Chains A and B, each alone.
Chain A
Amino acid sequence: MIPTPIPDTRAYALTALALLSLSCLTLAAHLHTRWAWVRRLPLLAVHVLLMSALVLAGAALLGPMALLQPVPEHPAGWWGLPSGALVGFALGLLIIRVDRAITTSWRRSSTPPARPQPPRMTAARPAGFAASGTGLSERRRTGLVRARNDYAPTRSDLQVRLELLVAVAVGEELVFRGLLTRLALLLADGPLVVAGLAVAAAVFACSHVFFGWVQVLAKIPLAVAACAATLLTGNVLAAIVCHVVFNVWVWRYRRSEPVARRVPARGMWGATA
């Protein structure tokens, strides 16, 4: 027997919110790859704009406090805020050490950097006036692969202002620990809640794949620590402080790096980006 359809806008809206929150950095990379006018902004600025829209949508759907205090009726109450700030600072310092240890051990065991890829000869494609009136001018160029997977951060994407890195940290914690934790806790079943929290942490780590595979591994401790701190204190302040401390260290690290030693980001194709 077919049950009576019960259209539920809220269920669709929450599903869309969960999917877009999980993939917000990839979506920013898609937009960045696809349209030239978006490419004028650094990737992280597009990411922050998308996260702002998601936070606003989440606040409208779940209530503004739901994102700041994703664990409803937590026993810590408002006392969780000052303790969260302290816990977050301590966790941030710890995560910096763990992140450095992972990236350093990976770098030691990895192969020496590759030589630049030799230039490839490809068939010349008529362009401009030469292409007019030919079949090529009438074709729409599609980009399944180009739009999906060839984004690689450039030097300008990586060397950004401190304010932007702090905004990224705050936005990511509001989305991954505030919004997605709240959505996971909405699931009634215990194992489903754990699975939801694990998926959010895993996807947070995976979203750093654009900066290299080692960054996925290095971001797992940050994801787990921020999730645990949020559940422990009942609010996202600990996770935000932890992530901000970490991003400030990243900014200082990149600034202090001698220009001669800075390795440009390697693109998908093994060429310098």
Chain B
Amino acid sequence: MSALPWPLRALTLAALVILYYKYAKAALFAACRRVAHLLPFARRWDASERGSVLELAAAGASHVLVVVLLVLVTGVDLTGLVLGLNRPDLIALGVAVGVGEVALGSLLCRVLIEGVQAMGRRRSGAENVPSGAQPAAAASAVASGERTRQWLGLSRGGWIRHHLKTMEVISLPLAITLTAVQVGSEEVVFRGLVLTWLRDAGPVLAIGISCLLFTVMQIFLMSSWRAAMFPVVGAIVMGLTHGVLFWHYPLLLPLVVAHVTFFLFAVA
């Protein structure tokens, strides 16, 4: 497969990403929800909570299998990448990078929300004010606040729900381990494998494709575009930052630490 030109390799990766992250994961999560009803602990955890923990565990385990499959397909030697255990300074800086990414991502999300709300208010104002009906304009503003509330509520759904529920119901070390397996595998796929396999395409194209696939993957299994806004904006910030860092310094561990920190800061 490595003898293929890079556009074909990029297409192969895109097909694998869509196949796994859209269809295989949807089937896996549906199976987890069915199995959740058969499990014990009904008094302690409800079916939704059992299903969420199962979904996260299954996503992590299947992700590891996908990494193995991709290593076989791409022929990339991962042993040359997973260095960094002896660099506590980089691991500590990975935490700082993760905190910076989540803060920048949430700033951009807030700007988007306020911008859309302001545009909506102006549009409804343009419709309502000439008629001189102040109660109608006020009601429109209240409705706008309600829409924001619904928007933020939607963002707790989709695949984010199983992270939130898992954080709520199981012990913190176990929840962090499950999250670390899941997001660590994403770093291996989208930075370790994609960027290494597409290195001959040049930095702009390779980082662009890696970031695009990483961002598109966030949209799958979310209920709507509005719900997907939070992970998409975070993925753009993280995809660019991690892509540039990995391109120059191919170390995975600090990036995994940054990704886990991002999740913990966002969810915990």
Which of A7, A110, A214 interacts with B87 by CB under 8 Å? Answer: A7
Given A27-B103, A270-B141, A270-B144: A16 and B96 interface contact (C-beta under 8 Å): yes
Contact with A along B128-155 (1 / 0, CB 8 A): 1100001001101110110011001101
A22, B106: Cβ atoms under 8 Å? no
Does B118 count as interface, using CB distance less than 8 angstroms? Answer: yes
Q: How far is the CB of B236 from chain A (nearest CB, A)?
A: 13
Choice from A2, A118, A203, A269 contacting B77 with Cβ under 8 Å: A2
Interface residue A268 (Cβ < 8 Å from any Cβ of B) = yes
- Could you tell me the dominant secondary structure of chain A's interface residues? helix
List A residues 126-176 near B (Cβ within 8 Å).
135, 138-142, 144-145, 147-150
Number of interface residues of A (CB under 8 A): 56
CA distance A26 to B267 in the complex (A): 16
- Asked whether B84 is an interface residue with its Cβ less than 8 Å from the other chain, the reply is yes
User: CB-defined interface of B110-142 with A at 8 Å, one 1/0 digit per residue?
Assistant: 110111011001101100110000100110111
B266 and A27 form a contact (CB under 8 A):
no
Q: Inter-chain contact count A-B, CB under 8 Å?
A: 184
Q: Report whether over half of chain B's contact residues are helix, strand or loop; otherwise say mixed.
A: helix
Kindly name the residue among A5, A142, A148 whose own CB sees the greatest number of chain B CB atoms within 10 A.
A148
Contact A20 to B96, CB < 8 A, known contacts A26-B110, A27-B103? yes
Check A19–B93 contact: CB distance below 8 A. no
Stretch at the interface among B27-35, B162-170, B210-218: B162-170
CB–CB A142/B97 < 8 A? no
A140 to B17, CA, bound (A): 33
Whether A5 pairs with B141 at a CB distance below 8 angstroms is no
Q: For B86, give the chain A residue with the smallest CB separation.
A: A7
B239 at the interface (CB under 8 A from A): no
Pair B106/A30 contact, Cβ less than 8 Å: yes
CA distance A206 to B89 in the complex (A): 32
- Considering only residues 143-190 of chain B, those with a C-beta below 8 Å from chain A are 144-145, 148-149, 152-153, 155-156, 160, 164, 167-169, 172
Report which A residues bind B (CB closer than 8 A). Answer: 2-3, 5-9, 11-13, 15-16, 18-20, 22-27, 30, 109-115, 117-118, 135, 138-142, 144-145, 147-150, 203, 206-207, 209-210, 212-214, 216, 268-271
